[in-house]
Structure 1
């Protein structure tokens, strides 16, 4: 046992919270970041994880040596892993397949069982993250943490994060900005700050532009641990009960490119290595910090060390059409020149006649992406095949295809993806023996390129 005069926490759990504010001295002096990456598990989710477990213990929902189960993009799982290790619980975590490999490695290092499931499936699919977690908990007699609907999630931030910010700013905060994932942080801390200020503090939610929270189409986006994806086959789109929409005054949509570039800028100009969701939140904060008397506090939820293989890796960024490469290098954009307007996606249920009619309205290429959404430009993550409308037109004229036929019989397999900013040699190598490839800009199919064009 530690001596009474030693300054130390009794356990790692006592080190959760109490994170400092850091002013963005170079980028935006009126903006302060709440450094949640300094929690023991490296993210803001440590707060909710501890609160949910303590609440479950008080209610008798979680007994000694019990099993904790959760569906998560990783950070809540890491927080739960720390709590489980300290309090003697077992842990099974279900994560979507887009979760960074650093996070899954961290979870396993803490002794958690990690179950990886497809992320791009309808909510009703048995493999959906939340459904899979609920099924495992029921089958094994475990306690489902359920951060999305657990009231202890926003309560943790109302009781800790909000009061900390109010005290640290001496009540001078004018704007509070946080990304919306489960909604617990923005709802709990935002509610406290509004109450403490008599309604003066404006609460801003930061959201990927394709997320449904900010009015997007719900298609995939590149920023992890934030936003709300909606598969087009989802029948009932239920939002988390941890997200209290009445608390949020405005939701600011931020594109993937801006989020990632902002995160990189924070590392290079402020010495803050953060995740892309922090880039989303800071980008939103920069847009609301307008007046000379504004004092903006933005939650930066986690460290960039969990995403070194993604947002800081040219091999990941390049094929997605995000900025990479060295100055002076010839890129795909240099070789191809201006691209025609991108074609929308074609659903696999479309008929040959519908595909040709749509192609007539969008000239500029013969290869069309096929996927679940009839909107464009489609996310490369949802593109499942390609349709050569030029060849299809010839088949119709020859009587070998009918306009009433579904396009499914004429769709070829997936093509490789080449980023618009990649170097010409890298792009040519990825094209390899394939006859064509998609040209990708910010994770979206913006056209195609045929062998010989590179």
Structure 2
């Protein structure tokens, strides 16, 4: 029988999956090492367990002790799983830019979570680095794992991630592409793979706002490079000791927006529901694809699962607020039309007058406006049925035959939302602009906007 003794025995041996659609214009094969198949849904399970095992072996982590760590979320999850099995307590310190889901998940597995401000220097006593170090001194029988400078981090990937990739590609890998954060994953895997074949190219993907890229290129720690960024799980404002820059061949930076958009593409086009760093990893590779040749075999590491980011990169509103989602809105449709003036009728207008307006402007739906506000609507189909059954109704006032009011939405409502409101009963949608003027969008407006 194949029965695991505990959850920790399921860490590692994650699949390598060929990418087909996102990389269809590439000259070579691109495969993803999908590490959200680990039990904690991220590649950090590997190094978290290794750090605990070595700390136990060295006597730094004692029975009943407390694990303390500064984490963006994923390392904390791996450490929490080890703590559950091995009987430790956990206190994790994170930053306020990390998704709420990450903190909630850590709490679900029994950890205490402390949130610190993001935009402070590492040495600031409020930073999550400083708070974690302070707690390790104050909490009895505790140990600060310090994934940034703990070389067990890169050792885990030297012993597991690198060998798995080598075996899964039959030693034919030519490029390893990975986002760069603590340095453990990219350095450990690269050290193993370069021992097997020193010609393998290792490309690190960084984010604008991190100092790692400039440090790689110049050896200079330039704090002028550091500025706030939204991307999660990679990029640094200092150089962790896990880095061995000699095994990395190139650093490439990507924007917050491009990484987020690419993560969504991975989900929609490949069925890989991944985190922020995965999208950034693929985006970085996109920017470098002209360097690839037909016989190359590229392996990209996809670190974690998209469930950590459902309130952020997989949330349309969050994406739009940051200008990351290029979606057409009610305002875009109105702005693109040749005429912007709303054609409407008042309750006192006659049906005959209304029909003439519809014919003149070739429109099917009219709002009924009284004192600047909508009180009902008129549709071509509705009028046809009424006039067909009673031709004399053409002399009646609109108030006698009008239908229910059209739905009213915000001026920046996305097309997807507008289209869901247009039904057989509601053939159009209204909105007010910044000046308080009504505008109308019909199903034909939406069709035209999507086919331009």
1:81/1:333 CA distance change after superposition, 3 Å = farther
Match of 1:68 in 2: 67
1:13 to 8, 16, 19: 8
Match of 1:23 in 2: 18
Give, in whole Å, the separation in 2 of the partners of 1:334 and 1:284.
Answer: 35
Match of 1:164 in 2: 164
Larger CA deviation: 66-75 vs 115-124? 115-124
Give, in whole Å, the separation in 2 of the partners of 1:333 and 1:218.
Answer: 41
- Counting only pairs closer than 5 Å after superposition, residues 296-307 of structure 1 correspond to structure 2 as 296-307=298-309
1:221 to 226, 229, 232: 229
Q: Tell me if 1:40 matches 2:55.
A: no
Match of 1:88 in 2: 87
Q: Tell me if 1:54 matches 2:22.
A: no
Is contact 1:31–1:285 with CA below 8 Å preserved after alignment?
no
- Indicate the RMSD between aligned Cα atoms, in angstroms: 2.3
Match of 2:121 in 1: 122
Give, in whole Å, the separation in 2 of the partners of 1:220 and 1:77.
Answer: 23
- Superposed displacement of residue 324, structure 1: 5.2
Is contact 1:285–1:296 with CA below 8 Å preserved after alignment?
no
Match of 1:242 in 2: 242
Give, in whole Å, the separation in 1 of the partners of 2:98 and 2:287.
Answer: 28
Match of 2:339 in 1: none
- Counting only pairs closer than 5 Å after superposition, residues 47-446 of structure 1 correspond to structure 2 as 47-141=46-140, 142-197=142-197, 199-215=198-214, 217-229=225-237, 238-289=238-289, 290-323=292-325, 325=327, 327=328, 329-331=330-332, 424-425=411-412
Once the two structures are superposed, residues 93-123 of structure 1 have per-residue CA deviations (whole angstroms, 9 ceiling, x without a partner) of: 0010111011111000000000111111112
1:319/1:328 CA distance change after superposition, 3 Å = closer
1:288/1:170 CA distance change after superposition, 3 Å = farther
1:334/1:241 CA distance change after superposition, 3 Å = farther
The 3-state SS of whatever aligns with 1:284 is: helix
Is contact 1:314–1:324 with CA below 8 Å preserved after alignment?
no
- Superposed displacement of residue 315, structure 1: 2.0
Give, in whole Å, the separation in 2 of the partners of 1:264 and 1:120.
Answer: 27
- Superposed displacement of residue 210, structure 1: 2.5
Give, in whole Å, the separation in 1 of the partners of 2:326 and 2:106.
Answer: 30
Give, in whole Å, the separation in 2 of the partners of 1:222 and 1:10.
Answer: 39
Is contact 1:66–1:90 with CA below 8 Å preserved after alignment?
yes
Match of 1:373 in 2: none
The 3-state SS of whatever aligns with 1:298 is: strand
1:35/1:333 CA distance change after superposition, 3 Å = farther
Give, in whole Å, the separation in 2 of the partners of 1:274 and 1:300.
Answer: 7
1:453/1:136 CA distance change after superposition, 3 Å = farther
Once the two structures are superposed, residues 316-338 of structure 1 have per-residue CA deviations (whole angstroms, 9 ceiling, x without a partner) of: 1122111154x453259969xxx
The 3-state SS of whatever aligns with 1:297 is: strand
Is contact 1:40–1:46 with CA below 8 Å preserved after alignment?
yes
- Superposed displacement of residue 285, structure 1: 2.4
The 3-state SS of whatever aligns with 1:243 is: coil
Give the number of the structure whose residues are more often helix, by fraction: 2
Q: Bigger radius of gyration, 1 or 2?
A: 2
Is contact 1:44–1:302 with CA below 8 Å preserved after alignment?
yes
TM-score (norm 1): 0.69
Gaps of 5+ in 1: 1-5, 230-237, 336-422, 428-450
- Superposed displacement of residue 76, structure 1: 0.3
Give, in whole Å, the separation in 2 of the partners of 1:9 and 1:278.
Answer: 29
- Superposed displacement of residue 136, structure 1: 0.7
Give, in whole Å, the separation in 2 of the partners of 1:250 and 1:424.
Answer: 45
Larger CA deviation: 115-124 vs 61-70? 115-124
Give, in whole Å, the separation in 1 of the partners of 2:325 and 2:20.
Answer: 25
- Superposed displacement of residue 47, structure 1: 0.5
1:31/1:334 CA distance change after superposition, 3 Å = farther
Give, in whole Å, the separation in 2 of the partners of 1:31 and 1:295.
Answer: 6
The 3-state SS of whatever aligns with 1:92 is: strand
1:314/1:151 CA distance change after superposition, 3 Å = same
Give, in whole Å, the separation in 2 of the partners of 1:122 and 1:188.
Answer: 27
Give, in whole Å, the separation in 2 of the partners of 1:453 and 1:125.
Answer: 48
